[in-house]
Amino acid sequence: MKKMKKMKKMLMLLLAAMLLLALPPVLAEKAETPAVPVQILPQGEGMLLMADAISAAKATMAVLPADCLTRAELVLMSDGSHQWIVTIFDLANFADGWCIAVDAVSGEVLMTDATNIGYFDTVCARWETVKGVEALWSLEDKLLFDNLYTMQPTYGLPMDGDMAQGEALVKAMAAVGVTSVSDYQIGYGYIMGAGDTNGVWEVWFMNGDEMIYKVNLDAVTGEIYLIEPDEEGNG
């Protein structure tokens, strides 16, 4: 009798083990949240020089474009580390680009991203895992991303004389016939004007990660410059 009980217990343990092996994990181990830049810094003592960071970045490239634009910024990362973000754009086509992250202390190349569309969508995807949908980022985050990863930064912050963000929203709502924002998440961008001139408010009406409308309007007069999608549904 004792022997049968023991065998029964062993069978139950074996069955339980088989079930555990057969079942997929209920909770997948979460991927480590990527570190992203939080602030551009001035050259600091003990940090790799910009010229050395650029040299380290270019050394990773099999072929360097004959005519290229190179930019580099020293940044504080969200994990407390310091990196040089080096971007290189091919001026022959304005589409091919490389973004190389270099450890600002050791000079080690940490990560390389490439693009053939003039925009580092892989970098944006990493930022979105931390900050959510790009359209809903803060004005400061859009400005930082633009300054680090684009050939010619266009995002900025509102200037004296600009209408308030809320007023821009009211005008954008009127332009697309929206009477309530309760069904949308609202995002903003500020596109810099030329020189010292005022810029353009960008207002996004989002449903999750889907853009429903985008309205660009003069930050001073409220004149509507762009509505997406347009009357033909193009966006």
**Concatenated DSSP letters of the chain:** -HHHHHHHHHHHHHHHHHHHHHSPPSSPPPPPPPP-EEEEE---TTSPPHHHHHHHHHTT-SS--SSEEEEEEEEEETTS-EEEEEEEEETTTS--EEEEEEETTT--EEEEEEESSSS-HHHHHHHHHHH--GGGS-HHHHHHHHHHH-SS--B----TTPPPHHHHHHHHHHHHT----TT-EEEEEEEPPSTTS--EEEEEEEETTEEEEEEEEETTT--EEEEES-TTS--
Give per-residue pLDDT as tens, 178-189. Answer: 999 999 999 999
pTM recorded for the entire structure: 0.83
The pLDDT confidence band at residue 44, using thresholds 50, 70 and 90, is: confident
- What's the pLDDT tens digit per position in 122-136? 999 999 999 999 999
Q: Is the pLDDT of residue 27 over 50?
A: no
Per-residue pLDDT at 32: 79
Q: Average pLDDT of 82-86?
A: 98
Mean pLDDT computed over 190-216: 96
Who wins on pLDDT, 83 or 26? 83
Q: Which listed CATH number (3.10.450, 3.30.500, 1.10.10, 3.30.43) goes with 37-137?
A: 3.10.450
User: What pLDDT is attached to residue 4?
Assistant: 47
Please report, for the chain, the start and end positions of each structural domain, with discontinuous segments joined by +. 37-137, 165-228
